[in-house]
Amino acid sequence: MTKINDGIVTSYRQLVSDLHTHNHYYHVLDDPRISDVEYDGLMRKLILVEKQYPQLVKKDSPSQRIGGAPLPQFSQVQHAVPMLSLDNAFSAKALRDFDRRVHERLKGSENITYLCEPKLDGVAVSLIYEDGILARAATRGDGATGEDITSNVKTIKSLPLKLISDLPPRLIEVRGEIYMTRQGFEQLNVSMKKSGEKPFVNPRNAAAGSLRQLDSRVTAQRPLSFCAYSVEQYSDSGSPDTQWEMLRYVGRLGLRINPDIFFAANIDACESYCHDLFTRRASLSYDIDGVVIKVNDLEKQKFLGFLSRSPRWAIARKFPAEEASSQLLAVDFQVGRTGAVTPVARLSPVFVGGVTISRASLHNADEIARLGLHLGDTVVVRRAGDVIPQVVRVVHGRRQENSTVVLFPKFCPVCQSPILHLPSEVIARCSGSLRCAAQVKQVIKHFASRSAMNISGLGDRLVDQLVDTGCITSIVDLYDLSLSMLTPLERLAGKSARNLLNAIEKSKKTTLQKFLYALGIREVGINCARLLSQQFASIEEIMAAREDELLAIDGIGPVLAEHIQMFFANPKTCKVIQDLQKKGVHWPLTAADGVREIPLYGQVWVFTGRIESINREEAKSVLQALGARVSDSVSSKTSRLVAGKAAGSKLKKAKALDIPVFDEKQFLQFLEDIQTTDI
């Protein structure tokens, strides 16, 4: 290795600094200070120096944007703070309802300001910078677990590898959207067609496909951009008090924020901004599907907290979707894992909102009756929320003579069991239960999915084969499969069969959260399964939980509580759980198993103010490991409040309710004492 003197090191560092500076002026500020030829010359010089002195290369070198060797696969990462979705408002009334709910929860706060920003149609990502250097980038995934796409994200020129700051925070997690401009998308598709490759259908698909490349050198050739929209983790003290100030701070660190962000003094200003942006939608350089509106005050955001799937302090004001007409060819009636029978329209392919659609949801029997559908009808199709295709109306003037009316079936199209229409439900359900092959298949597919038991190799087609051939009739049967049963199946050679059996065996070791989700309880998603696994010490406690115990969990309402109780009240359900455990399915033991006491089991803790000696998410994880549930709001059910510096309304409320309070020093001492106690 060539020896380096101080002069070479100084010259190299200056070269790196100059490239970072010019990259920021060009790709973030749109204000280039040198020509492309000069920039390319500096980059060539950098690469030559790094080839001669490879020991100089750091993570933040501009050369890292070129891309490296292909990865075998993406590794998974756990988000310290879940990446939740947003509730939608499709009308001015829905937006005002959101404002009313915010005011009701923030009693006494008459002056509530908002921050509005274009809802970019791209891919949500999490970026973690450590000491100013990009350390990790991850996709949203299922909200709790994403994929590590660091090598690909490093190739995006509008995203800094090193923050612009002499004293960067020790750790900061920035979230934002990776997207593709319309011009970049068009240029990419031109080059794809020239090289004989299939072009992308819209900028969002192009952005998502580019980030999913295992070869980051391919990603480096794609015209991707990035805009930051929030900060979720911040290690240093003295963080900004508002969303707007936080974004301005992020901008000073070198990350791009959307220039169309708007500060709104009230909900009227929000609606005016939405109307203005909608009129300018077609003239923007990028695709949007609405406006994201957030409570500007960060302390008020913390007070408002979260539902299981979304924050209470933000909403997406969605724009009207694009519409197109097509011909109804047929209606299929699909049966889901809970027996729900869903009608789906088969259409002549039509291009709507950047996507070719050949199928659209008809929702339920009432919707079919409302539309008065006939086979062969010309129908108007819309992408609801710019995502889910649906039939909006029939063009009656173009109906064919003697066309056949579409009727909702009385019997299941799969097992011929009667279809039930319960007075309390809009959805019709097949009464066949596990006698219905369609329901069995969907139950098994859900059980084996990545967020559930994660049985790799058990795809939809294989599940269909296993059920159709009688190899399995329930999820329990998966753990009785053998090589001799699998190898005769189509497209399942010896190696694939052995890999599947290994994946089934591996799935036996899981977590209570994943197991609960895998069971397929109605309305119980990943986040609800997490809440249940945190609140109760064992599966037995969940099975025996009273309604009031379930309703005490923030995020579980009466309907969901009823679904949970009805599920576990079924003796067949209990037997399935017992049989799975007999087959070896297990998870880390808890207090109910007599292994160890969980000292904070059943307690509810709340944080307020700045905690400087420990990251709040780390503190939250410690408390959860000790059995506590960490809430965002103070109530009579709160066990203890941890009050850091500049504590606000939560501290006042805790004192009024006579709730015990720890300051930061007392909290740290408590953690030290409880974790060193032999329990």
At 337 the three-state DSSP class reads coil
Task: Please state, as a whole number, how many other Cβ atoms lie within 10 Å of the Cβ of residue 205.
Answer: 17
DSSP 281: G
Q: Is 411 helix (H, G, I), strand (E, B) or coil?
A: strand
- Per the residue annotation, which of 3, 58, 107, 119 is the catalytic one? 119
In Å, the largest CA–CA distance within the chain is: 90
Both structure tokens of 268? 């009227």
User: Strands 640-643, 661-663: parallel, antiparallel or unpaired by DSSP?
Assistant: parallel
User: Do the beta carbons of residue 200 and residue 189 sit within 8 Å?
Assistant: yes
* The two three-digit tokens of residue 111, written as one number: 């002056």
For the chain, report the end-to-end CA distance as a whole number of angstroms.
55
Confirm whether 119 is a catalytic residue. Answer: yes
Distance CA 615, CA 363 (A): 45
Segment (H or E) for 51: helix 36-52
How far apart CA 206 and CA 216 sit, in angstroms, is 15
CA-wise closest residue to 87 among 325, 418, 257, 316: 316
Joined together, the tokens standing for residue 403 give 């066309």
Element (H, E) at 139: strand 133-139
Question: How far apart, in whole angstroms, are the C-alpha atoms of residue 663 and residue 607?
Answer: 10
**How far is it, in rounded angstroms, from Cα 44 to Cα 138?**
30
Positions of E strands within 450-490: none
Instruction: Give CA–CA dist 463/613, Å, rounded.
Output: 51
Burial class (CB within 10 angstroms; exposed 0-12, middle 13-18, buried 19+) of 125: buried
**What is the layout of strands, in order, in the sheet containing 224-234?**
133-139, 123-130, 171-180, 224-234
| Per-residue b or e along 156-190, where b marks 16 or more CB atoms closer than 10 Å to that residue's CB | bbbbbbbbbeeebbebbbbbbbbbbbeebbeebbe
Active site residues: 119
